[in-house]
Amino acid sequence: MQYNTIEELEEYFKGEIERVSQNEIKKIQKEIENIKNKNIKELEETARSNAEIIVSQEVKSMDSEHAISLSRMADDNQRKLMKKRQDLINNLFVEIREKLIGYTKTSDYKEKMKEKISLLSSQYHSDGLLRLAEKDMSLADELLESFGGQITVKSDESIEIGGFILEFHQDRIIINETYDARLKEEREMFYANPELIIG
């Protein structure tokens, strides 16, 4: 399945979580109903043969057992849902990362980098330092042509996917246009979005 935008991926994720949650909830409700029916039947048989005080004790015991069982099942379900959510998030961001890596091999990527660098060089007029991923160093000459002022290019091991970091030391400005940083921000926003938290 292919996703063209982060929104589509988020919609897929929301749908998958909702489906898994509903299935787990239905299973829990069915188990609870079975336990309840079983316990009620046993209680009715006991009530016929025992005094009222014994029945009262059995009801208390059943309620306690039922509460413990319900709590245990809810905890188990929450753990399963959280693991499923984590697996989906991990798979989603691995897929996004692979698509971004694929994109960095296209001519569109190079053109987009040139446009951004040209735009930034028109906004900041001091000398700059351009940091690129080692794999993008082959684009350095073309990117330098897009820069209006003086610029030095350096490879940066922290950039794994692609993009660039542009530093203007005189202006004390660092602009991070890396896909690594963007993907990290998106992941943090994904976790922070309360609609995506399973309760």
What's the pLDDT band for 43 if we cut at 50, 70, 90? Answer: low
User: Can you tell me the distance from the alpha carbon of 139 to that of 125, in angstroms, rounded to the nearest whole number?
Assistant: 22
Residues 91, 124, single domain; the answer is no
> What CATH number did the domain enclosing 136 receive?
3.30.2320.30
The answer as to whether 199 is a domain residue is no
Residues 64, 47, single domain; the answer is yes
Give the pLDDT confidence of 116-150 residue by residue, as tens digits: 988 888 887 677 899 999 999 999 888 888 787 78
Return the higher-pLDDT residue of 8 and 39.
Answer: 8
Q: How many domains does the chain have?
A: 2
Percent of the chain clearing pLDDT 70 (strictly above): 85
- Owning domain of residue 150: 107-176
pTM: 0.56
Residues 75, 115, single domain; the answer is no
Residues 12, 76, single domain; the answer is yes
The answer as to whether 127 is a domain residue is yes
User: Can you tell me the distance from the alpha carbon of 101 to that of 198, in angstroms, rounded to the nearest whole number?
Assistant: 31
The answer as to whether 184 is a domain residue is no
What mean pLDDT is predicted for residues 43-52? 64
pLDDT of 163 > 90? The answer is yes
Give the pLDDT confidence of 167-186 residue by residue, as tens digits: 988 878 899 999 999 989 88
The whole-number pLDDT of residue 199 equals 46
pLDDT of 85 > 80? The answer is no
The answer as to whether 160 is a domain residue is yes
The answer as to whether 19 is a domain residue is yes
Question: Side-chain half-sphere of 119: how many Cα atoms within 13 Å?
Answer: 8
Return the higher-pLDDT residue of 161 and 118.
Answer: 161
What mean pLDDT is predicted for residues 61-75? 79
User: Can you tell me the distance from the alpha carbon of 149 to that of 125, in angstroms, rounded to the nearest whole number?
Assistant: 7
162: phi > 0 → left, psi -120 to 50 → alpha, else beta; which?
left
The answer as to whether 23 is a domain residue is yes
The whole-number pLDDT of residue 48 equals 64
CA distances in angstroms from 153 to 11, 53, 94, 129, listed in the order given: 39, 86, 29, 6
The answer as to whether 33 is a domain residue is yes
